[in-house]
Structure 1
Amino acid sequence: MAYLVFFFIFFFVFLFLLRKLRYGRLRLPPGNLGLPFIGETLQMISAYKTDNPEPFLDQRVNRYGSVFTSHVFGEPTVFSTDPETNRFILTNDKLFECSYPGSISNLLGKHSLLLMKGSLHKKMHSLTMSFANSSIIKDHLLYDIDRLIRLNIDSWSDRILLMEEAKKITFELTVKQLMSFDPDEWTESLRKEYMLVIEGFFTIPFPLLSPTYRRAIKARTKVAEALTVVVRNRRKEFETKEEKKNDMLGALLASGEQFSDEEIVDFMLALLVAGYETTSTIMTLAIKFLNETPLALAQLKEEHEQIRARSEPGAALEWTDYKSMAFSQCVVNETLRVANIIGAIFRRTTTDIDIKGYTIPKGWKVIASFRAVHLNPEYFKDARTFNPWRWQSNNNSEAVATPGNVFTPFGGGPRLCPGYELARVVLSVFLHRFVTRFSWVPAEEDKLVFFPTTRTQKRYPIILKRREESRSNMGFGITAETERRKES
C-alpha cells in the first residue's frame, strides 16, 4: 500500500515538473494550473453550485487581472473577462474554433450551426439571418408570434409554473417558424422528447455511466426520426412544385444547395435549441425582475396600455406597435445584461496566439466571459442591479457611451446569434400580452436564480389575476417617484 501511495505521489510530481518545463518557455497569462488532471475544477464546480458563482472569476481577476490561466475539466484554460480580448476571440473564427462539451456536440449533431466551420458555416449563418431579419419578421412572423402567445396564455389557469409555460410557448413558436406546424398532438409529443434531449446537455457523454445521457440519446433519435419524415415529405412537395411554405425548411430547400436529410435535420434540431431554452428563460426572468422593480413594471404597463388604447380590444399587434415599445426595449436590454443566458463562449486555439503581451498555446481551451463584463461596475454603474432606465438615451445613461464590445448578449463576430432580432420581438410581444392581461404575485418564496447550474431546476410558480382588456384600462401612470428615478 505504501508503495502505491509513493508511486502516485511520484507520478503527480513528475507530471507537475513536466508541465512547468513544457510551458516555462512561454509567457502564459498569470494564474494557477493547480494539480495535474484536477486543476481548479472542484473550486469552479463548488462556486457554480451556489446562487452566486461570480467569486470564481472575481477572485482570480482581482489577483491576476482580466485575462488569466486556470485548469478546469482536465484542460488548461485561459479565461477572458476583458471586452477587447473577448471581441478579438469573437471576430477571429480561424484562430479560435468552437469547443463545447462532448455531450452537447453529440446531441446536436455534427451538422449543427454551432459546430459548423469555414464556408459552410458562413453560408448557413447567412441563410438563417436572412430568414430572421426585420423584414421577414414584419411581413410573415409577427402575426404568428402574437397569435401563438395569445393562444397559450388564454389556456392558463390562475396558478402557473411560468418557466414551463414559457418553454411551451417558445417551442411552439420555433416549430412554427421552422416547419409551419401549429400546436397539436404531434408537436406536443415532439416537445416531450426534446425536453429529454436538453436534459442530457450537461452530463457525462457515456451512456453506461449516465442514465440521463442515455435517455437523451434515445430521445434524440426519436426527434431526428420525426424531423426526417417531415423533411422527406417537404422535399417531395418542393420537387413537385406544390405550394411553398414560407418557413426555415422551405428556405433550406430553395437555397440551391444539395443538403442531405441528415444535414437539414441536424441544422433544425440545433435551431430548436436556440429558440427554446434561451428565449423561455429570458421571458421568465424578465417577469421576475419586473416583479422586483415596481417602478419599471408601472412604466412598462403604461407603455403597453397606450398601445392597446390605439386599437380594438383583442386586436393583433402591428409592426408599428412593436416599434413604439421604447421602454420595453430598455427592459429587454437590461434583462439580457443581468441574466446573461449566454454567459460565455467556449473556444480552442488553432495555433499559438499572442495577446495582451501573453501567449496562449495551440490547443488550449479559451473561455470568453460575457457575464463578467456585463456585471462589471467599471462598465455599468451598480452593475448587479436591474435598472432598465440606464438604456434610455435621454437620461445621459452610461449605456449611450458603451462600446459595442461591452454589451454582447448575443455574442458577436461571424457567429453572432442569427436570431437575435427575432428573440427581441418574441420577448416584447410576450411582455405586451402578459402585462396587459394579468397582474401576478409569486406563488411561494421566490428562489429563482439566473445562473446556468440552478435555473433549469426552478419553474417560478406565480398566481395570476386576469385584468379586463379595454380602452379605458389606463390605471398605471408614471408616478413622480418614477420620474425622479429616471432623472437620477
Structure 2
Amino acid sequence: MTSKNVDSELVWLILAAVVGAYAFLSGFLKKTNELYYVLRLGKKKHSSLPPGDMGWPFIGNMISFVRAFRSQNPDSFTNNLVRRYGDTGIYKTSLFGNPSIIVCSPELCRKVLTDDERFEYGYPSSLNKLLGEVRSLHGVSNSEHRHLRKLLSSPINGHESLSKHIEYIEDTVVSSLEEWIHNNSQIELLTELKKINFRVMTRILMGSADSISESMTKHYARLFDGLMSPLPIDVPGFTYHRALQARKILLNVIQAHLDERRCKNNDDPNNKTGVIDLLLEAKDEEDGEKLDNELIVNLLLGFLLAGHETTAHAATWLTVYLHDHPESLQRVREEQVEIVRRRPSSQKGLTLNEIRQMECLSKAIDETMRYAIGNFPKGNR
C-alpha cells in the first residue's frame, strides 16, 4: 500500500471520527436538555406532553426557528414538526429561552385564545425587556388588557375611524408611487412599504406624521431583530444588545413627544387627534387614575412596532400573490377601474363609500391573510 493511500485512509478515518463524535455529542446534549425540562414536570405531566423535541441547551430550537422565519417559507419550521412527528396539531419545543408548546390547528388555537381561566398572557423574559417588563400591554391584568385593547383599537378599526385618515393615507401612497416611478434604480418593496406604513401609523398614533423622524425606522428594525434573536445576550456586538439600545432611543423620542403633546393639549383641546391623546385622557378601570407615563410610552412603542412591521408584510404578500395569480389581479383591477368610472367629475380623492365597494380587493386581502399566516399543511388550516 502506498503512502498516498495510507494518507487518504487516515483522512477519511479522522473525518468519520469527527462526524461520529458530533452526532453523538449532538444527540447527547439534546437528550440531556429534554430530560432536564421533562423531569421538572414530574411523571404525571410528562406522560401528557405532545411530541416534539427541546433542541439544544440554552438555545433550544431558536436557530432553526429564526432561519425559517427569515426565509421565503416561514412555515417550514412547523412543517418540519409535522413531517417528523405527524399531523397532531400540537408539539413541544424550546423557543426564546423557554420550554414551549406550539399549537397550529384551528380548534386548539381557538381554545387557547378564548379560555382565560386556564391560559394567561405571558411572554419570555427576553421579550419583556424589549417591550416593557411591567407597564405594558402584556404586563397588565386580563381585565385591564381588554380595556386598553378596546381603547387603543377604537380609533384605528372600523369605517368611521378609517374615514378620518383616508385623505392622508391616499396622499402618502400616491406620492410614494410617484417617487418610485421617477426613481431610476430598483427598489425593495418591503422596505418602501415599511416607510409608507411608518408615516401612516405615526400620524394615527401620535397625531402628527412629523412627530417621529423616519430615520427612527432603523431603530425599530433593530428592535424587531432583537425580538427574533436566537441568543438574547445583552453584550455589545450581539443583536439583542443593539435592540435594547434601540429601545432606549425610541423611548426617549416618544417620551419627548408625549411631554410636548400634553402641553399642547392643555392649551388647545382641538389638538387631540391621535391615539396618544386618548391615552393621556384614559383612566385605569381599577383605581380610576390616569395612565402613567411608562405605560403610555410602552403602549405607543408596541403599537408602532407591530403596525410598522405587520401591515407592510401583509401588503407585500398581497402584491406577490396578485402578481402570481393574474386572473385575480385582473378582477381586482377591473373593480378599481369601475369604481373610478362611477366617480363624479367634481370628486377629488378616495371616499369611504368607494372603499366599501371594493369587495374583490377585500376578499383578496382576506385570502392573503389566511394563506400567509395560516399556510400549514393540509389538515391544519
TM-score range normalised by the length of the shorter chain: 0.7 to 0.9
Letter in 2 for 1:78: I
User: Relative to structure 1, is the Cα distance of residues 30 and 43 closer, same or farther in structure 2, using a 3 angstrom cutoff?
Assistant: farther
For residues 13-32 of structure 1, the aligned pairs below 5 Å read 16=35, 19=38, 22-26=41-45, 27-32=47-52
1:62 equivalenced with 2:67 (yes/no): no
User: Relative to structure 1, is the Cα distance of residues 47 and 58 closer, same or farther in structure 2, using a 3 angstrom cutoff?
Assistant: farther
1:85 equivalenced with 2:104 (yes/no): no
CA distance in 2, matches of 1:15, 1:302: 56
For residues 378-397 of structure 1, the aligned pairs below 5 Å read 378=379
1:115-163 CA-partner distances (Å, limit 9, x unpaired) = 4332321221110122223244244122222222222222222532111
User: Relative to structure 1, is the Cα distance of residues 133 and 188 closer, same or farther in structure 2, using a 3 angstrom cutoff?
Assistant: closer
Confirm or deny: 8 A CA contact 1:237 1:243 kept in the other structure: no
The equivalent residue for 1:296 is 328
Identity %: 24
* Further displaced range: 213-222 or 19-28: 19-28
The equivalent residue for 1:337 is 370
User: Relative to structure 1, is the Cα distance of residues 38 and 197 closer, same or farther in structure 2, using a 3 angstrom cutoff?
Assistant: closer
1:290-321 CA-partner distances (Å, limit 9, x unpaired) = 11111111111111111121234993110111
User: Relative to structure 1, is the Cα distance of residues 298 and 259 closer, same or farther in structure 2, using a 3 angstrom cutoff?
Assistant: same
1:321 equivalenced with 2:345 (yes/no): no
Letter in 2 for 1:24: K
Query: 5+ residue gaps in structure 2?
Result: 1-23, 284-288
Letter in 2 for 1:164: T
Which of 161, 170, 173 does residue 137 from structure 1 map onto? 161
CA distance in 1, matches of 2:67, 2:221: 26
Confirm or deny: 8 A CA contact 1:145 1:173 kept in the other structure: yes
1:210-257 CA-partner distances (Å, limit 9, x unpaired) = 433232222221211111111112212333444332210111122245
User: Relative to structure 1, is the Cα distance of residues 31 and 254 closer, same or farther in structure 2, using a 3 angstrom cutoff?
Assistant: same
Confirm or deny: 8 A CA contact 1:43 1:56 kept in the other structure: no
The equivalent residue for 1:198 is 224
Larger radius of gyration: 2
The equivalent residue for 1:151 is 175
Confirm or deny: 8 A CA contact 2:60 2:93 kept in the other structure: yes
* Further displaced range: 239-248 or 119-128: 239-248
Letter in 2 for 1:296: S
CA distance in 2, matches of 1:22, 1:325: 52
Partner-residue secondary structure (3-state), 2:271: coil
Confirm or deny: 8 A CA contact 1:37 1:75 kept in the other structure: no
Which of 313, 320, 323 does residue 281 from structure 1 map onto? 313
Greater relative contact order (Cα < 8 A, sep 6+)? 1
Confirm or deny: 8 A CA contact 2:236 2:242 kept in the other structure: no
**TM-score normalized by structure 2?**
0.77
Cα root mean square deviation, aligned: 3.3
Confirm or deny: 8 A CA contact 1:28 1:69 kept in the other structure: no
CA distance in 2, matches of 1:46, 1:201: 10
Confirm or deny: 8 A CA contact 1:32 1:71 kept in the other structure: no
* Further displaced range: 221-230 or 135-144: 135-144
1:438-467 CA-partner distances (Å, limit 9, x unpaired) = xxxxxxxxxxxxxxxxxxxxxxxxxxxxxx
CA distance in 1, matches of 2:32, 2:162: 63
Letter in 2 for 1:224: L
How many corresponding residue pairs? 339
Confirm or deny: 8 A CA contact 2:106 2:380 kept in the other structure: no
Query: 5+ residue gaps in structure 1?
Result: 341-370, 381-488
User: Relative to structure 1, is the Cα distance of residues 239 and 269 closer, same or farther in structure 2, using a 3 angstrom cutoff?
Assistant: same
The equivalent residue for 1:310 is 342
CA distance in 2, matches of 1:207, 1:99: 21
CA distance in 2, matches of 1:13, 1:214: 29
Partner-residue secondary structure (3-state), 1:320: helix
Report which of the two has the higher share of strand.
1
1:169 equivalenced with 2:196 (yes/no): yes
Confirm or deny: 8 A CA contact 1:32 1:70 kept in the other structure: yes
The equivalent residue for 2:131 is 108
Which of 107, 118, 124 does residue 148 from structure 2 map onto? 124
Confirm or deny: 8 A CA contact 1:200 1:213 kept in the other structure: yes
CA distance in 1, matches of 2:145, 2:173: 32
Confirm or deny: 8 A CA contact 2:207 2:272 kept in the other structure: yes
The equivalent residue for 1:181 is 208
Partner-residue secondary structure (3-state), 2:187: strand
1:92-132 CA-partner distances (Å, limit 9, x unpaired) = 23422333344432222233324433232122111012222
User: Relative to structure 1, is the Cα distance of residues 335 and 319 closer, same or farther in structure 2, using a 3 angstrom cutoff?
Assistant: same
Please report how far the alpha carbon of residue 261 of structure 1 lies from its aligned counterpart in structure 2 after TM superposition. 1.9
1:182-223 CA-partner distances (Å, limit 9, x unpaired) = 358x52233333333223222233221643323222222121
